[in-house]
Structure 1
Amino acid sequence: MKITKTITYFDSPGPKNTADCAELAVERAKDLGITKIVAASSGGATAREFANAVKGTGIHLVIVTHAFGFSEPGVWEFDAELAKELRAAGHTVLCGTHALSGLERALSRSPRVGGGSRTEAVAEAFRRTIAVGLKVAVECVLIAADQGAVGVTDEVIAVGGTAEGADTVLVIRPAHTAAFFDLQVREIVAMPRNR
């Protein structure tokens, strides 16, 4: 079977692409009968945009945020009130450790241990050769699968971005982090062309 579809390329990464990504994600989810969109959102702006985009569609959002202490010890960057609103609307908000760095980053940054890790090499390869948003989207799907928010047999729409906002939309068959090589990026729906 041959499938022909359009890929959207943005001139550059960043939050200016978030509304378009929300529209494209919902459109592709409907086309494929996918019921879950996994989206990264550190502070809540991207989550709010996607919540508006899925209203009335029956699509469930799984918002993956930074872990507590990501930017400042003991602090969660995500808007706590928005998290309550999203959960009340039936969506899921997860706070998870980065699957493609986590403890590895602590070791590589340590003056006592130092050096790069294989896990961080995988993350860096995604960032440099494809898109930061692809790395983020893959990581969020791993986190969501590990926390049971998505299954590992059904495809999801995955959304990531570069620093802020959304600029990458993918179709992914999830996997747990421990089974990383079972994860499949099946489609690139949108991504920045220049990084």
Structure 2
Amino acid sequence: MSEVVEKLKERFGAAVLAEEVSCGQQVVFVSREALRDVVRFLHDEMDFKHLADLCGVDYQGYKPKRPVSERFEVVYNLYSLSRKELLRLRVPVPEEDPRVPSVTSVFRVANWFERECYDMFGIRFEGHPDLRRLLMPEDWEGHPLRKDYPLELEKEWPEYERLREKARELSRYEWGGRGVRGGEHGA
């Protein structure tokens, strides 16, 4: 067990749900209720100043090597330059209440990561300053990276024809030195 895991267990007790080493990387499972405090502690006192990534996971229909407690998970990859250490936090998120606290107050870059996770998985980040879709249009229904998202849309996106017309209109312009005509790229 690493020094960081020992200090997390000492400070947060039962909020540290489990730990493991995966592909040579330390992984700590944390309760969502303690997430913001754990992240603040890691940032301020353990020098994990870089949030390298934050993503969602949907385990529906997946048969993992170890049992999972909830359908969803939010995964945080933190890095400490001074320690030269990578730490992965995994936070189980229940399907019936898909929310976790926002960590934007600790890492400003979390703003974009949390918006993407919300957009793709429907996991809400409480306390986020501007939680709205990032990749999909605002009026899009559903969350495309959920395992139960329909592969074939039941109905066409209402704005699709307007978008196609705008693309046709813009196709007469040159983009980056290449002419774009009717969907064809000119040389």
Identify the structure with the greater strand proportion: 2
Q: TM-score, normalised by structure 1?
A: 0.23
Say which one has the larger Rg: 2
Q: TM-score, normalised by structure 2?
A: 0.23
Identify the structure with the greater helix proportion: 1
